[in-house]
Structure 1
Amino acid sequence: MDKKLKPLFEKLPDNILILVFFSPFTKYKVVNYNYANYVLRQFLAELNIEPITIHGLRHTHASILLYEGVNVSYVSSRLGHGEVETTFNNCIHVIKELEERDQIKPADIFEKMKETCSKLFGVQNN
């Protein structure tokens, strides 16, 4: 058991399944989606942060990973999607932005190669 979570589990003595999102008040002993959103909304309001849902956080997490260059296949697996296409379809706006950003990379790469060749072989750039 993770040391950081140990105090949480000590406070939830009926948590025999060792669930992080445990609720002794629900039928299946888990916090439901609506309650998680409610708690998140309250927390964000206290911090004066614009509201977002749990699903929105999940989408933001995926978007950040993609923007930082993490492979879409890994992001898909991390999100638990059975098919990469699901991730691709859900994040198409991010992927299109990345494609636009990447369009300038080949020119930059070849310019650097040209400069390197010029230095190595003494060829003047024109």
Structure 2
Amino acid sequence: MSLGITLVSHVPEVAIGLKKLLKQVAVDISITTAGGTDDCDIGTSMGKIIQAFTDNSATEILAFYDLGSAKMNLEMAVELTDKPVHVYNAAFIEGAYTAASLAQAGVTRKEIEQQLKPLLVKE
């Protein structure tokens, strides 16, 4: 199985900017984004999240989000995809960066999850 990353943010530019940062350490990892509402306003879109899952070439996705309602839409979108998706309550930037760099190094998902434990900050 290949690991990919999906980033969900209330602001399109935040998701895009974080992807640019992650690509510095994870050039071979599929990273997709879902930022903002369908009309590119502040918020999240379940449709954009589902599209990000579809566009991600990995067979298994590690998903990170910024704020609470992003988590709600992310969890609903997980129910509508056939890909295994793991949602992490980690600090958005630090968690995604850690996961992406470890995935690039070929670390397993279980080992990545061990490294994410100190970064879990949301419920």
TM over 0.5, shorter chain? no
Greater strand share, structure number: 2
**Structure index of larger Rg:** 1
TM-score, length of structure 2 as denominator length: 0.26
Q: Which protein, 1 or 2, shows the higher relative CO under an 8 Å CA cutoff with sep ≥ 6?
A: 2
TM-score, length of structure 1 as denominator length: 0.26
Greater helix share, structure number: 1
